[in-house]
Structure 1
Amino acid sequence: MEYPQPYTSAATYSATTPTAPPHPMPVAVVGQQYCCPHPVDLAVVRKVLTVADKFTVTDLNGNVVFKLQSSLLSLHDHRVILDAAQNPVVTLRRKVMTMHDRWQAFRGDSSDPKDLIFTLKRSSLIQFRTKLDVFLASNTSEQVCDFKIKGSWLERSCVVYAGESNTIVAQMHKKHTVQSIAFGKTNFMVTVYPNVDYAFIVALIVILDEINQDSSSD
């Protein structure tokens, strides 16, 4: 089955676009292989009492889909997302000396500007609830965001929208268990809507986690 061309522009959406999953064409940000014609539910497990191997993404059967590269020597502003075969999928870098907590995502283990996938930044300097803007690499003017994240990271209730519309492409919700609390883990679920790149959504979640940790340590 051949998919249409990947989503590349914020102009596709308008503020009046209704909420209507699934999206008619794949939102292939990282790659079309991560777009499914049905909803994808992922479980995120974050070990809060350890440094290494702290962030793992599985399917509902417990199979590892992605994990964050674990290294005691890795820089706080540099994260690599690996697939189940340990291949680098996305490299995340935080730009230093920026006021809006700006992050960039690159393909594989690259940091070359030609491999830039998207940029994420806070919508405003002062925030009581999470509000982040995401700009694809092709959106160089950054006048209108391609995706927006709203909600509360503390409550694990963030929602990812397409541009400035009300169209939801993914959403998070808590999943606490007795075992997760006892073993120092934070568990939550992510539902990625049909035809939406779930590798892209996982990259957004990793950045959200890093931003939240920064805010907690201030």
Structure 2
Amino acid sequence: MGLLTNLAGKAALAGNFGSAPAPLAPVHMPIGVLPFYTQHQQQIALKVRESKISFSGDDFTIKDAMTGQPMFKVKGSAVSMRDSKTITDANGQTLFKLKKKILAIHATYVGTASHSDDPIFSIKSSLSFGTKLTATFRNVAGDGKETELVLRGNILDRNAEITTSGGDEKANESD
């Protein structure tokens, strides 16, 4: 199983989409670079499961954990030095492109707008015990300010915590 295998808990892993994951604490304002995808009447848990073998270059689908309906599709390039991926909605409309920076001390990915190469966010990994990823973006869906979210995870315990750079908890999910 990959690092992003599952955000919905063991019920989704077993293929049981009828069991609800534990609810997360509400966030005080929308957070994101694509405002349309932050407007929901209820909480949505996503199931992310990368394919172990993909001839097309790391393609996979991100589904609603409750219904199993596809929400997003990730299309990877079979041969790419920059490990590029295109993220689309369920209808195939491109939302953004993700490319790995070639020359960086830590693994760094840059998300660019679908219609240009303008960066809209970056994700950087850090050397630490466990997993630590830092996402930096302008919060278009909320206050428009530069925002930094930090994911700290423990792959052995299969849990993760997302906080702001100041330590305010946004979500805590475990299996």
Q: TM-score, normalised by structure 1?
A: 0.56
Report the equivalent of 1:151: 153
Q: Which runs of 5+ in 1 are unaligned?
A: 1-19, 139-143, 175-218
Worse-superposed segment, 74-83 or 87-96: 74-83
Residues 25-44 of structure 1 correspond to what in structure 2 (within 5 A)? Answer: 25-27=29-31, 29-35=32-38, 36-44=40-48
1:49 CA drift (Å):
2.5
Give the deviation of 1:150 after TM superposition.
0.2
> Does residue 120 of structure 1 match 2:123?
yes
Aligned-partner Cα distance in 2 for 1:85–1:67:
9
Letter in 2 for 1:98: A
Correspondence for 1:79 among 79, 85, 102: 85
How far is the alpha carbon of 1:101 from its aligned partner?
A: 1.2
1:57-96 matches, cutoff 5 A: 57-59=62-64, 60-96=66-102
Say whether the 8 Å CA contact 1:91–1:109 is kept in structure 2.
no
| 8 Å CA contact retained: 2:77, 2:84 | no
Cα deviation, residue 75, structure 1: 4.7
Give the number of the structure whose residues are more often strand, by fraction: 2
Higher helix share: 1
The 8 Å contact of residues 135 and 149 in structure 2, kept in 1 or not, is answered as yes
Q: Is the 8 A contact 1:133 1:145 kept in 2?
A: no
Distance 2:34 2:117 in 1: 17
For structure 2, list consecutive stretches of 5 or more residues without a partner in the other structure: 1-23, 140-145
Deviates more, 1:35-44 or 1:150-159: 150-159
Q: Which digits, 9 at most, give the CA deviation of each residue in 1:61-95, with x for residues without a partner? A: 12111111144345552111111111111211111
TM-score, normalization by structure 2:
0.68
Residues 89-108 of structure 1: matches in 2 within 5 Å?
89-108=95-114
Any runs of at least 4 consecutive aligned residues in structure 1 with deviations exceeding 6 A, and if so which?
Answer: none
Identity %: 25
Q: Distance in 1 between matches of 2:114 and 2:157?
A: 31
Is this contact kept in 1: 2:121–2:137, CA < 8 A?
yes
CA contact (8 A) 2:27 2:170 kept: no
Cα offset for 1:23?
1.6
Task: Please tell me whether residue 130 in structure 1 is matched to residue 131 in structure 2.
Answer: yes
Rounded to whole Å, the distance in 2 between the matches of 1:170 and 1:30 is 21
Quote the Cα distance in structure 1 between the aligned partners of 2:148 and 2:78: 34
Q: Distance in 2 between matches of 1:73 and 1:33?
A: 32
Q: Following TM superposition, by how much is the alpha carbon of 1:50 offset from its aligned partner in structure 2, in angstroms? A: 2.6
Contact kept, 8 Å, 2:82 with 2:102, in 1: the verdict is no
